[in-house]
Amino acid sequence: MLPLVLVIASDRDLREPFRHELTAAGFKAYYVESLAAALAVVAQWRFDAALLLGRGFDGTLLHMLHCLREAADVPTLAIVDAADEERQLQALDAGAAQVLVEPTSLRIVAAQLRCLVGVAQQRPRHERADVRFGPLRLDPRRAAATIGTNELALTSGEFELLLLLASRPGELVHRETIARTLGRSANPETRRSADMHVCRIRRKLREVAGHTLHVETVYGRGYLLRDGPAHDEADEQRAVEWSV
């Protein structure tokens, strides 16, 4: 069965160039022109990936990504029309699994979609059930994280990273695995982004008293989640220095 991709474009002229390339790349694409239409179809069908063409949705792009993340478990590739790093980071935190900047090659778009479909298909089915580790509970369906009765305010990237660590408690998770699981290429810049995500998760864990959860650094390799006294109070500073 061909991978099913939802393409969201504000008008037909924007989506037409993608029609031939996606078909040639082995995708079956369904095209919509609004967030309302996208939410209606994801409620009925299961898509393997989504492609959001940001041009025409400048003021609502982040809202659209957030709504798609809340409504469906579908990795989304967003194409933005400005090489603004802050804008790209905002899109990732709002729910995009990957971001490309216009102008971009249609072949690159198809290749990125294949990566997203591959990552989604490799995830075990039970991953969508609640994940618990000590006092930590993660609900992937709502992207909600709690420690006891305290809710953690996490971005989508922070939640996915903590979910990955909690799914393998006490086990080393390599930085490259983190980057690929988040739907991003394992290059130095995305690995540094993962390191900074870890620093922010640590700070948020510290804000909730009465538990001993901590993210431990294995210098030069990756991270693991433990429940117990921290062995190295300099972990966070190491991560910051490592990411520079």
Q: Which residues are CB-neighbours of 234 under 8 A, at least 6 positions away?
A: none
Same-domain pairing of 135 and 65: no
Same-domain pairing of 40 and 61: yes
Backbone dihedral angles phi then psi of residue 17, each to the nearest 5 degrees: -60, -25
Q: Which two tokens stand for residue 229?
A: 């006294």
pLDDT (mean) for 195-213: 88
Q: Which two tokens stand for residue 63?
A: 């809202």
pTM listed for this prediction: 0.52
How many distinct structural domains can be found in the chain?
A: 2
Same-domain pairing of 12 and 105: yes
The three-state secondary structure class of 15 is: helix
For 12-61, how does the pLDDT look when each residue is reduced to its tens digit (9 = 90+)? 777 788 888 888 888 888 888 888 888 888 877 888 899 998 888 878 88
Domain range enclosing 116: 4-122
Rounded-to-integer distance, Cα 5 and Cα 113, Å: 8
Domain end marker among 69, 97, 122: 122
Q: Which two tokens stand for residue 9?
A: 């474009």
Rounded-to-integer distance, Cα 22 and Cα 111, Å: 10
Same-domain pairing of 101 and 147: no
For 151-164, how does the pLDDT look when each residue is reduced to its tens digit (9 = 90+)? 999 887 788 888 88
Same-domain pairing of 9 and 116: yes
Same-domain pairing of 136 and 237: yes
Rounded-to-integer distance, Cα 127 and Cα 118, Å: 15
* Beta pairing, strands 136-139 & 131-133: antiparallel
For 83-138, how does the pLDDT look when each residue is reduced to its tens digit (9 = 90+)? 778 888 888 888 898 899 888 888 899 998 988 887 666 555 444 568 889 899 98
> Containing H/E element for 20?
helix 12-24
